[in-house]
Amino acid sequence: MVKETYLHDKHVALGAKMVDFAGWHMPVQYSSIIEEHKTVRKDVGLFDVSHMGEVFVSGKEATLFLNKIVPQNIKKLDYEKAVYCQLPNKKGGLIDDLIIYKLGIESYLVICNASRLDEDLNWMVRNKKGMDVKIDNLSHNYSLLAIQGPKAIDLVRKMGYNIPEQKSFTIKPAIIEGIKLLISRTGYTGEDGFELLVENEYSEFLWDKILEEGQEFGIKPIGLGARDTLRLEAALHLYGNDLDENTTPIEAGLSWSVPKDKQDDYNGKEVIMNQIQNGVEKRLIGLVMLDKNIARHGYEVYYNGEKIGQITSGGISPSTGKNIALAYVKNLKEICTGTIVQVMIREKLHDAEIVKRPFVEKKNKIK
């Protein structure tokens, strides 16, 4: 059974092209992926991301429990703050990547990928044995709307949300247009923006209201197609493409998110700390194609005639006009920024240059 969000009929009425994504019938585009992409970079866009999982973790040992399952130090997470986390298995490979929000004393919200919700829940339950922790999957109760783009701040202010200086990676309870919700300054586009977690029954009203109030800022509804090109330009990982159970956060270029001084033990810590000290065999790189060809997921990467890895995400970058990609390659010392490698596309090798990530300047620096 393919699931529908509470906003499904809105998408259909807006003329969206619908696709199946992670078990959900979701809008891939409303007008044009490129137009929608540019709207988010220039003005503001509205996304329905209600397919994502919302898991509430609470109880006397909630902090200890979360600290055991992620490399990040949840003990250091302040009230109303958010942190980008990974969920490693015992070998350091990733079951999922998450954002954890601290809602209160021993009370957390974990937002996870729709495609991984079941695995995440199984893993959490297996890891909580004997601990005083409650894990509530309330994904089916909530809708998640993302307002992203340079004008997102003007729009939420206009809608009566006026908490001054809500910083990036924070979450607050708020009342917007008379609706009680949680608003966080997070997103998956590389732009400034907000995510609104609201009970399902208010989602349609809020969706319409945001589009109406956003008109003067040039708002458009944005589908999953542009969500993917936006996150790729920002070099944000997509689980299933750029992250999986055989890839550690260190190999994935996420060392910046892994504390080196965390005392508590966590799943995969030995492997992860060993890689921090002694290096990795494969690692994530960013590529820009040097001709018009487009690198795509699964294509092979070569250096000096030898296969060194493969593309995990690739496509066009509407903001730069270039064709960009993320790839995992052998960690050779010759492979560094500026090195020219080749991508096998339709049985021919095409040059690509290794570049620093992200591919565009991020407006919502995590750190």
Query: Which residues of the shown chain bind another protein in the complex (CB under 8 A)?
Result: 17, 28-29, 32-34, 225, 229, 292-294, 296, 315-316, 318, 346
Nearer to another protein, 49 or 230 (CB): 230
Name the residue nearer to another protein (CB basis): 38 or 158.
38
Strands of 134-137's sheet, edge to edge?
82-88, 94-104, 107-112, 53-58, 134-137
Least separation in angstroms between residue 206's CB and another protein is 28
CA distance 162 to 171: 14
* Shortest distance (Å) from residue 315 CB to another protein: 6
In the complex, the smallest distance separating the C-beta of residue 47 from another protein, rounded to whole angstroms, is 17
Smallest distance, another protein to C-beta of residue 297, A: 10
Query: What gap in Å lies between CA 195 and CA 47, rounded to an integer?
Result: 9
Which residue, 42 or 81, has its beta carbon nearer to another protein?
42
In the complex with another protein, the residue whose CB is nearer, 41 or 185, is: 41
Tell me the C-alpha to C-alpha distance, in Å, between residue 127 and each of 66, 189, 264, 268: 9, 32, 15, 13
Q: Which is nearer to another protein, 241 or 339 (CB)?
A: 241
Of 322, 297, 324, 323, the closest CA to residue 311 belongs to: 297
Dist. CA 93–CA 118, nearest whole Å: 17
CB of 294 to another protein, least distance (A): 5
Cβ within 8 Å of residue 219, ≥6 positions away:
39, 43, 44, 45, 46, 151, 155, 210, 211
Helices (H), 47-151: 62-69, 117-127
